[in-house]
Amino acid sequence: MAVSLNLYCNEAPNEIVVSCEAYDDDDDDNESDHCSVDYDDDLLINLFETEVYQMLESKVVSSRFHHNIVTARKDAIQWMLKVHCFYRFRPETAYLSISYMDRFLSARPFPQGKGWPMQLLSVSCLSLAAKMEETAVPFLLDLQIMKPRFLFKPKTVQRMEVLVMQTLNWRLRIITPFDFVYCFIARISSCFNDSHQPNRLCHLFSLASDLIIDICIAAIDSLDYPPSAIAAAVVLWITNLSVDEQNLGHLHNGVNQVINTGMVKKIYKVIEGKRSSLKLMPQSPTCVLEAALLCKEIAKYC
């Protein structure tokens, strides 16, 4: 089925419902199930190799990023994070939804003077990210909560999802900093005898998750940052370690790969420069519980 490349800015008016309906809160817990992953050396090598090809591809895309959409991007991210917190999605879902949106906007011109295209893009990216990461995904109408400016019919969102996937060359499963951060926390904790302190691991992962999302929000050029470098800078920051060859060596010990030290230093400086202005997402009791479950997974790699 052919899909118009201008679908999101030429949608028929009757496809958009301007008035939003009230939604009932769902009190059922939506606990995230995390697969146990064996972070052996072979898997870590594979992550590094896949990251290289991913960065070569995204570098071409990000060079065409349009910087006149900063305000619209900020508003879109704020809405997505509100829905993310409401449904208690995984932090990976938030990262992916922002990444999808940035990759789409960097590859295509954004129509000026219209408010609903960005809202439609936000719903579509959040929906796609949830489908990739969550075990339970709300219906498309149920996903459009937290007072969005526009409400779209499901078939409109589905068509936009196809356009997003086409624009991203159907590459939705991408390497993210979360793929590295679990392993890096485990390895750095082992080096400093923290691997047998579950509360410590839980706290580190919680800080790392928040900081990764913060970087993604604040750094509009985050597409140019290798996921391993983001994860390394975050882990060194939350453990109060400097960026040097020895500390970076702890992260990839036993693996014949080298993390981009220059890029890690750049991201570390971004954290130092913007940390005071960044606002962490509030931790709900469910988020705390999820972090506790995840720290058990991290402990397995120590």
Which of the four pLDDT bands, split at 50, 70 and 90, describes residue 165? very high
Question: What are the phi and psi torsion angles at 112 (to 5°)?
Answer: -90, 150
pLDDT digits (tens, 9 = 90+) for 52-76: 877 766 655 544 555 567 788 888 9
% of the chain at pLDDT higher than 90: 32
- Asked if 118 and 160 touch (Cβ cutoff 8 Å), the reply is no
| 282 vs 88, more confident | 88
Task: Assess whether pLDDT exceeds 50 at residue 290.
Answer: no
**Rounded Cα gap, residues 47 and 180, in angstroms:** 8
Mean pLDDT score across all residues of the chain:
75
Is the pLDDT assigned to residue 22 strictly greater than 50?
no
- Top pLDDT among 176 and 2 is at 176
Domain segments of the chain as ranges: 64-168, 177-275
The CATH number fitting domain 64-168, selected from 3.30.310.50, 3.60.20.10, 3.40.640.10, 1.10.472.10: 1.10.472.10
Q: Which residues contact residue 169 at a Cβ distance below 8 angstroms, ignoring those fewer than 6 apart?
A: 57
pLDDT tens digit sequence for 192-246: 665 556 677 778 888 899 899 988 887 766 778 889 999 999 999 998 898 888 8
